[in-house]
């Protein structure tokens, strides 16, 4: 079996491949997309980091391809749905570089605070800017950590060792879980108001893109310092520039950028910006860790069929996967839908299997549900292997039950998710052999195909309401693919699910919300 390594990988990983009988490895870095397309058809496995883009076109050309392994955590450069459709396993190494990235954030904070880069440059230029480059202590200052995942929690712990006061915001982690770790859980606005330093450790999602923008900076303490070693685009770069020029923000340390490499960037003109070229995971130890981890995972899969840290395939036998695969798929989509309906940290998840599930091991389905629920919250840090562990770490209580008493459907999966804001119910089933359907959302009955760009609309059950929605979307050249309408039991509201060919922009959502008979509009991605 042949393995292609298309990005720089630590020697320890390459050596593992070479020492494994039956595995031939080729290292070809710097391939153009066209060259990779022409080459990939000869290989069973592809090892990447962040440079190689594994598109649907590349996957189509990889006729022998069985697995893509990422030496690192982020998978923004892999078309995971396309890989899943083609039966290609996608793996990452989610723990190999968390300490390194956390340490880099602390290093950036200290360098920013004590003007270390500026001092180095001034000395090399023949100046002695001792008074000009006076810094400050971090002792007893308040660090606001946005995101309490593996990296954010390590940053908080290291900051506590520096005798800083640490406050944490994470809408998906129960406050008592944060407090149990020895930190104070606060709202995002309170974090902005109290923090002397703010360090970002959230994935880049639709909800977090531009999270630190003009409105956020206005809520912050004068003289705050910002560190971003997570993903570019979470900090709005133009708004950050304005905040530094106005004096609101005293300085920023950036390891990531909206465009990478950023080329000519106006932020670089500011003395109070220090930056590194995405070095968060770049230490000898981290690169060795992820290289060895990805090599072991791919070898184990190619030689033994064992799947570790896959983001799109569970660790089950082929026979069981054929039986329960459709239920795993609908469970994953139900979880993803619940994540976007949730109004706060998830406290409890109740999974009910009703009907003829006799003889089926439903544990992988429950894992798929948890993965679908948690992925929008923590993105690449969750997979089919660790989803139950991640849920436990977030303080989520899991309850499962099975009953053979079927009612409307031969097989029905009901998912109840409890948050601080209340409880939401989503039920789903399989029609025929493999048609996925969501058949109930809270008190509404419907038959929704859970995929694509979806608008969830609550409107008054009056003539003209639905027509007005179609007119508004048509005016903005947005085509409706499917429409599902359900009625509130004993109520006066309709629930409408619209599947559109393209995502609906924020200004169009605002236009819909302003309509007289519309109660609410929520954009969902499934």
Q: Which numeric CATH code is attached to 98-275? A: 3.40.50.720
pLDDT attached to residue 491: 63
Question: String of b and e for 346-363 (b: at least 16 CB within 10 Å)?
Answer: bbebbbbbbbebeebebe
Q: How many CB atoms lie within 10 A of CB 388?
A: 18
Q: Is domain 452-526 classified as CATH 3.30.70.260? A: yes
CATH code matching the domain that covers 1-94+282-313, chosen among 3.10.450.50, 3.30.420.140, 3.40.50.300, 3.40.50.720: 3.40.50.720
What are 184's strand-pairing partners? 167
**pLDDT tens sequence across 498-509:** 888 888 888 888
Three-class DSSP category at 272:
coil
Nearest to 362 by CA among 371, 354, 353, 370: 353
For the residues 96-120, what does the mean pLDDT come to?
Answer: 95
pLDDT band of 510, cuts 50, 70, 90: confident
Region class of 261: left (phi > 0), else alpha (psi between -120 and 50), else beta = beta
In this structure, are residues 191 and 167 in contact, taking their beta carbons and an 8 Å threshold?
yes
Instruction: Return the active site residues.
Output: 231, 260, 278
Query: CA angle, corner 239, sides to 234 and 240, nearest 5?
Result: 75
Chain-centroid distance, C-alpha 168: 19
> Which position has the higher pLDDT, 291 or 452?
291
Q: How many CB atoms lie within 10 A of CB 29?
A: 12
How high does pLDDT run on average in the chain?
90
First CA to last CA distance, the chain:
35
Do 1-94+282-313 and 98-275 fold alike per CATH?
yes
Cβ within 8 Å of residue 514, ≥6 positions away: none
**pLDDT tens sequence across 301-357:** 999 878 888 888 766 655 676 778 888 889 999 999 999 888 788 999 999 999 887
Q: How many CB atoms lie within 10 A of CB 205?
A: 16
**pLDDT tens sequence across 237-292:** 999 999 999 999 999 999 999 998 998 899 999 999 999 999 998 899 999 999 99
For the residues 138-156, what does the mean pLDDT come to?
Answer: 96
pLDDT attached to residue 497: 83
Cβ within 8 Å of residue 414, ≥6 positions away: 350, 351, 352, 354, 425, 426, 427, 440
For the residues 114-127, what does the mean pLDDT come to?
Answer: 95
pLDDT attached to residue 11: 94
Would you call the peptide bond into 261 cis, given omega within 30 degrees of 0 as the criterion? yes
Which sequence spans correspond to the domains of the chain? Answer: 1-94+282-313, 98-275, 314-448, 452-526
> Which position has the higher pLDDT, 111 or 375?
111
pLDDT attached to residue 490: 62
> Which CATH architecture group holds 314-448?
2-Layer Sandwich (3.30)
Nearest to 102 by CA among 177, 158, 184: 158
For the residues 378-383, what does the mean pLDDT come to?
Answer: 72
For the residues 116-132, what does the mean pLDDT come to?
Answer: 95
């Amino acid at each position: 079996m042949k393995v292609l390594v298309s990005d720089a990988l630590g020697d320890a990983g390459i050596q593992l491949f070479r020492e494994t009988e039956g595995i031939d490895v080729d290292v070809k870095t710097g391939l153009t997309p066209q060259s990779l397309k022409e080459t990939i058809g000869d290989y069973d496995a592809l090892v990447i980091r962040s440079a190689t883009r594994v598109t649907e076109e590349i996957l189509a050309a990889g006729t022998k391809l069985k697995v893509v392994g990422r030496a690192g955590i982020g998978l923004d450069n892999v078309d995971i749905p396309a890989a899943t459709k083609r039966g290609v396993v996608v793996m990452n190494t989610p723990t190999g570089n968390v300490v390194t990235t956390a340490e880099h954030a602390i290093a950036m904070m200290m360098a920013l605070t004590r003007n270390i880069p500026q001092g180095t440059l001034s000395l090399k230029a023949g100046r002695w800017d001792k008074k000009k480059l006076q810094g400050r202590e971090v002792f007893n200052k308040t660090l606001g950590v946005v995101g309490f995942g593996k990296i954010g929690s390590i940053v908080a712990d290291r900051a506590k060792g520096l005798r800083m006061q640490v406050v944490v915001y994470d809408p998906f982690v129960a406050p008592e879980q944060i407090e149990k770790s020895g930190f104070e859980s606060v709202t995002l606005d309170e974090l902005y108001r109290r923090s002397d330093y703010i360090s970002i450790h959230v994935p880049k999602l639709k909800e977090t893109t531009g999270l630190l923008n003009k409105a956020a900076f206005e809520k912050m303490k004068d003289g705050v310092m910002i560190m971003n070693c997570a993903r570019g685009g979470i900090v709005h770069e133009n708004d950050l520039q304005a905040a530094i020029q106005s004096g609101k923000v005293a300085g920023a340390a950036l390891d990531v950028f909206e465009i990478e490499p950023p080329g000519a960037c106006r932020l670089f003109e500011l003395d109070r910006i220090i930056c590194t070229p995405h070095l968060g995971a770049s230490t000898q130890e981290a690169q060795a860790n992820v290289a060895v981890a990805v090599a072991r995972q791919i070898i184990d899969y190619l030689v033994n069929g064992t799947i570790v840290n896959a983001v799109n395939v569970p660790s089950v036998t082929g026979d069981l996967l054929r039986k329960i695969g459709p239920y795993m798929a609908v469970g994953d989509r139900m979880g993803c839908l619940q994540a976007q309906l949730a109004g706060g940290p998830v406290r409890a998840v109740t999974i009910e299997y009703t009907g003829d599930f006799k003889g089926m091991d439903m544990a992988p389905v429950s894992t798929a549900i948890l993965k679908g629920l948690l992925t929008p919250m923590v993105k690449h840090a969750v997979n089919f292997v660790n989803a139950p562990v991640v849920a436990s770490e977030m303080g989520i209580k899991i309850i499962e039950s099975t009953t053979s008493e079927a009612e409307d459907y031969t097989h029905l999966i009901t998912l109840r998710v409890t948050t601080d804001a209340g409880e939401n119910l989503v039920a789903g089933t399989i029609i025929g052999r493999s048609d996925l359907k969501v058949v109930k959302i809270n008190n509404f009955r419907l038959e929704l195909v859970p995929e694509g760009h979806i608008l969830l609309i609550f409107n008054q059950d009056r003539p003209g309401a639905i027509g007005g929605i179609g007119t508004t979307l048509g005016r903005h050249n947005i085509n409706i693919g499917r429409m599902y309408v359900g009625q509130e039991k004993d109520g006066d509201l309709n629930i409408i699910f619209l599947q559109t060919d393209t995502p609906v922009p924020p200004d169009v959502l605002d236009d819909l919300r302003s309509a007289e008979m519309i109660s609410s509009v929520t954009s969902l991605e499934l």
